[in-house]
Structure 1
Amino acid sequence: MSSINSQNDDININDSNFVDDDDNSIDLNDNLSDMLHDMETNIGDDDQRKLHVLFDDAEKPLYPGCENFSKLNVVLKLFNLKSNYGWSDKSFTDLLVILHDMLPDGNELPISTYQAKKLMCPMGLEVERIHACSNDCMLYRKEFEKEHKCVICGVSRYKRKKETDDMDDDVTKNGPPNKILWYFPIIPRLKRLFSNENEAKFLRWHKDCRVNDGKLRHVADSPQWRNIDHKYPNFGEEIRNIRFGLSSDGINPLGNMSSRHSTWPVLVCIYNLPPWLCMKRKYIMMTLLIQGPKQPVNDIDVYLAPQIDDLKTLWGLGVVVYDAYKKENFTLRAKIFCTISDFPAYGNLSGYSTKGKKACPVCEDETNSIWLKNCKKTVYMGHRRFLPTSHVYRKKKDEFDGNTEHRTMRKRFDAFSRVENLNVVLGKRTSAQKDVIWKKKSIFWDLPYWKHLDVRHCLNVMHIEKNVCDSLLGLLLNIPGKTKDGINVRKDMVDMGIRKELGPVETANRIYLPPACYTLSKEEKMKFCKCLHDIKVPSNYSANIKDWCRYRIVNCLV
């Protein structure tokens, strides 16, 4: 079969899925048996049999005559240490072997990491392995589950030496597939969260415990949260309904900076939780893992389809879930509140073209851009239009591009009307349209509530802050290779007819660049670096900047 439900016999799961690495996590001894019994309500018959093994292990003494520790309790404590301090699987196995030999004969301690994981999570993490076209055209699921070739580009489904080899009707017997999508269904994982009394209580925080004083401290304080509750009162009345944030970006699992391989995980976070928990590893779920080496780019919609189907179910009929905190069954529904990504990934998720002359998703076809022939890149101008109409900067010429600014910010437009009639065939073999602003109709528009969201896509602040900081430091300290100033920039300014006093001055032997207002002398650079070096911030506020900034008489390095 193309979609294989696995119980994860290899147990190749990150440690944080089993234990919370938060120092403030609850005691592993607290209500362990109650948590296991609550979980029993939200699982099937096969998993219930495995869960009863957990019941036995929770009561079984570590060794004959031991009264203080059970088999499961000790393994949980040891695994908590492994997760908190980053022990490798091999080192943990060696520790288990030593402890097993030190304990009395007949002890129940596992002797390997594999056995410990099987003990703690006998039901495994449900995963669907879905075959995909190597050109990102389609997934072999639903009506295409038995196909041997891509119905769009005709590429074989399998890694085969000869295309003439006979095909077996059983798709699992034709060799390994060209590409695989790993899908980790979110519905069973939500059921497990509500099976824990403490977790189920946390999921009510946004209504029961949040301070509602009009200040923006949490996503639940945003107008969009209130607007959706008002637009869909049946959804808003049930405070246990889940609001997700979805994020995706490419990573290189090979551990180097090469861009030749890119694997794309898709993660969701839960905004029902308090702000000090919603970004913890424990509550961030990886729902999709898109195999490399090629980036899916605009074809990511093909791989999002299984998750979108589950989200439609969660929004429509919902699923019956047992709430361990309220001791009752209820119908759980869920929605995507927004996506979070860097700017290139925003283009992949939304379908907007983030390159070229019209790359601004706010201004669209009114984007003010020019091509710098010396720097050989497109830059975007006219930012003063976003200032208040009476702002003094609007009338200044010399400080900007030599013109006054009378335009105002573009009025909000209906994005759905731009993409409603787009019909784009996805896949690497299809020719992309040129000189278009919207490249596709995003799969997120299939969600009934998507058109009613005020802010659908959010940019990752981390990337923006880093890029702006790097640019400013490179400019102020004149760091080679990182500064935004140089001879090409000065030549482009001359071509534009602005800042003529900063134009390069050519002499017989060299080219002189006049100092600008941001040009620092060596003494000023020293003062700047010393200021950074001496900054003191509260504990856990940020990394120690002293480790990244050092100053000396000869030079200043950041």
Structure 2
Amino acid sequence: MFWHDKGRKKDGKLRHVADAPQWRTIDRDFLEFGSEPRNLRLGLCTDGINPFGTLSTQHSTWPIMLIIYNLPPWLTTKSKYILLTMLISGPKQPGNDIDVYLEPLIEDLKMLWNVGVEVFDAASSSKFQMRAMLYCTINDFPAYGNLSGYRLKTDKGCPVCGDDTESEWLEHSGKHVYMCHRRGLDPGHGYRKRKKAFYGKTEHRSAPLVLSGKEYHARVKNIRTEFGKPYKPPPNGVYHTKKSIFWDLPYWEHLSVRHCIDVMHVEKNVFDSIIGTLLNMPNKTKDGVKARHDMVARGRFEVNPIQKGKRTYLPPICTTLSRNEKKVLCESLKGVKVPHGYSSNISSLVSMKDLKLVGLKSHDCHVLLTQLLTIAIRSVLSKHVRQVITKLCKFFNAINAKDIDPDSLDDLQADVVVILCELEMYFPISFFDIMVHLIVHLVREIKLCGPVFQRSMWPMEREMGTYKRRMKNRYRPEGSIIEGTVASETLGFCQDYLNNVQPLGLPTSRHEGRLEGKGTLGKNVITVDRALFDKAHMYVLQHMTEVHPYLENHFAILKSQYPNKREAWLISEQNRCFAQWFKEKVMTELSKKTPKISDNLRWLANGPKANISSYEGYDINGFCFYTSRQDQKSTMQNSGVTVVASSVEYVGRGKQPVDITRSYYGVIFDIWELDYVDFSVPLFRCKWADSEKGVQVDDMGFILVDFNVISHIDDPFILASQAK
């Protein structure tokens, strides 16, 4: 519970919600609460699940979960520390009446804030009065409306912009769209005056102002709430269905962000819209006959659908791909191989027959949007459309970072406003639903509440999957889930008092016990060419700290013996003869009565055994590596390595030595483990791309590596611990 106060790194960057201004606001406004670091800050999450796991049965059960933000990020999201506080039974979802079910929880939260409970602290062997507060809620967008009491399916459907939300009703598509993002541009930005690209409109207004917690409370505090059926919607112009029960918490109006936008669902909806539009996927594309009629109604006559007999022809627009371009995009994704544990098998999601993506899960959309889509569209679309999609992908990649510099957030906000404006210029009008509009508010929530990865529903969705698997009684699904959860928590509590037992709810990494290195696939004992063997041994010696004084001494001797030789020749000569000289030097020192030679130096001097252990797969530093041969047999790609290293290069006519630090990109050809009797050293033998001719950076910042142009043939080895 002390980690957020004493254990986290405090360098001004956003790595934890405790680094955010909202956390400090509570400490400042409520000194008594903030002075005790063991007081809890909680996040609440809820969503509907179908415990039967089948779409043929309509049943919605709503678990109410709490997460503890006092803990480190790697524990906050673990099942052991996600608290199931209540389960709202189905078969129908609670909807606007969810406050009725939440009332017992809110009463407990008020008691924990006002009075607290006496708790024994085992670390200090003392008792203290522990209090708690609700820091924020995390939900998908429909649940956001249920908890906040805001009406989402109206012309003012953005709960952040509120009454200042600007939307348009599409007569043919039958929905609201939000195309007001130019309001967030700088006053003198050129896009504000452009008419043709923005349906004949200029924009001179400023961005909508976001209400503070106290201002928002003043608007809703007098709303009369009516629960039960039949539901009576408020009259037109009233955008709140109720005063949310969370306003009963004394501190709720002091929070800048009370309900967080879930980035996981935003990413999935945005990616589905983009890929559905590009590939013209049925029921997912935003470009259809209805969308074209809406665009024509707003002055875009060149996109008017053309009737040809019984068929309707849609003139191509910026986002229209030919069949060959769709095939190229799908083939790019079909051929993708990613490292072990990075994501699901992306190639299995691509249907080449129908030229579409199928079976996409939330994490698949996250990986495709933040990493792979930008690569797949490199050879399709026009340059300006490709660039804006790439910038959007980079934006999502940036906000999902584990540490964020607060000084960069203003620039990130300015960038995303421009990106959304450019999307308005190129994408069909029906593309801009509320989920696309919510992108503009993500940076604000990061600035106030901290990193996205601690406020997304990834861990809660996994936990809800666990609840579904605990359902054993189909007649009483909720009771079955509760029984399984209580049994699991009881066993977890008992295991805390048992030795050598794997705790429930805290899964161990597959790399546990392998961080120092362990061969996993294709072990074989081989002998190699003597010259290559000597290179491997010499590389090990060069990277052992205890050997460095001997290397310096030997180089000084060579320099005195050959004063007229250049440094490049001296280094080459040292690589050729140092191992033998080092062995003789160590043996001479060992022959003395009181040798000062460590066991490691003695084994290094003797050299490794001639028989080398070779592997096709190796785990080290939490990564899994394969040889290129193993990669060809696998659906994953684990043979690529990157090393950031300093090297001496000789430039100019005089071949002057220059120290250069750069990244080197290679492919693992062999994995060796040299046996020095008392210890072993794993090495990767790689094929390296030429750092100058084989590596380029394109105009979008992507690094292009061509392994047909190779270099460093005489220096193929790296220590396995150096690889990334």
TM-score by length of 2: 0.47
Q: Say whether residues 1:357 and 2:151 are aligned partners.
A: no
Alignment partner, residue 76 of structure 2 = 278
Q: Say whether residues 1:299 and 2:97 are aligned partners.
A: yes
Q: Say whether residues 1:496 and 2:298 are aligned partners.
A: yes
Q: Is the 2:330–2:355 contact (alpha carbons within 8 Å) kept by the matching residues of 1?
A: no
Cα deviation for residue 282 of structure 1 reads 1.1
RMSD: 1.9
Alignment partner, residue 451 of structure 1 = 253
Q: Say whether residues 1:327 and 2:129 are aligned partners.
A: no
Q: Is the 1:252–1:258 contact (alpha carbons within 8 Å) kept by the matching residues of 2?
A: no
Select which of 244, 247, 260 maps to 1:442. 244
* Higher normalized helix content (fraction of residues): 2
Q: Is the 2:46–2:143 contact (alpha carbons within 8 Å) kept by the matching residues of 1?
A: yes
SS across alignment from 1:474: helix
1:347-383 Cα offsets, whole Å, 9 max, x none, are 1101111112121112323322222221122222312
SS across alignment from 1:312: helix
Change in 2 beyond 3 A, CA 1:317/1:557: closer
Alignment partner, residue 409 of structure 1 = 207
Alignment partner, residue 253 of structure 1 = 51
Q: Say whether residues 1:218 and 2:20 are aligned partners.
A: no
Q: Is the 1:369–1:381 contact (alpha carbons within 8 Å) kept by the matching residues of 2?
A: yes
Give distance in 1, aligned partners of 2:57 and 2:14. Answer: 38
Where do residues 456-495 of structure 1 align in structure 2 (5 Å cutoff)? 456-495=258-297
Cα deviation for residue 487 of structure 1 reads 0.9
Alignment partner, residue 165 of structure 2 = 367
* Higher normalized strand content (fraction of residues): 2
Alignment partner, residue 235 of structure 1 = 33
Alignment partner, residue 432 of structure 1 = 233
In structure 2, what residue type is equivalent to 1:483? T
1:298-321 Cα offsets, whole Å, 9 max, x none, are 111111111111111111111110
In structure 1, what residue type is equivalent to 2:249? L
In structure 2, what residue type is equivalent to 1:500? F
Percentage of matched positions with identical amino acids: 55
Larger Rg: 2
Give distance in 2, aligned partners of 1:272 and 1:540. Answer: 28
Stretches of structure 2 lacking an aligned partner (at least 5 in a row): 359-724
Alignment partner, residue 558 of structure 2 = none
Select which of 333, 336, 342 maps to 1:532. 333
Select which of 309, 313, 318 maps to 1:517. 318
Give distance in 2, aligned partners of 1:531 and 1:469. Answer: 17
Q: How many aligned positions are there?
A: 354
Cα deviation for residue 460 of structure 1 reads 1.6
Give distance in 2, aligned partners of 1:294 and 1:369. Answer: 31
In structure 2, what residue type is equivalent to 1:466? K
Give distance in 2, aligned partners of 1:441 and 1:222. Answer: 27
1:499-540 Cα offsets, whole Å, 9 max, x none, are 221111234554321111111122222222233234454443
Cα deviation for residue 434 of structure 1 reads 2.8
Give distance in 2, aligned partners of 1:524 and 1:453. Answer: 49
In structure 1, what residue type is equivalent to 2:313? Y
Give distance in 2, aligned partners of 1:555 and 1:250. Answer: 32
Stretches of structure 1 lacking an aligned partner (at least 5 in a row): 1-202
Give distance in 1, aligned partners of 2:233 and 2:327. Answer: 51
Select which of 377, 384, 408 maps to 2:182. 384
Change in 2 beyond 3 A, CA 1:204/1:525: same
Alignment partner, residue 181 of structure 1 = none
Change in 2 beyond 3 A, CA 1:530/1:388: farther
Where do residues 110-259 of structure 1 align in structure 2 (5 Å cutoff)? 203-257=1-55
1:401-425 Cα offsets, whole Å, 9 max, x none, are 2211111112232210110111212
Q: Is the 1:418–1:438 contact (alpha carbons within 8 Å) kept by the matching residues of 2?
A: no
Name segments (4+ residues, structure 1) moved above 6 Å.
none
Q: Is the 1:262–1:294 contact (alpha carbons within 8 Å) kept by the matching residues of 2?
A: yes
Cα deviation for residue 430 of structure 1 reads 5.7
In structure 2, what residue type is equivalent to 1:292? G
Give distance in 1, aligned partners of 2:59 and 2:346. Answer: 32
Cα deviation for residue 234 of structure 1 reads 1.2
Change in 2 beyond 3 A, CA 1:542/1:403: same
SS across alignment from 2:66: strand
Give distance in 2, aligned partners of 1:209 and 1:536. Answer: 37
Give distance in 1, aligned partners of 2:107 and 2:157. Answer: 31
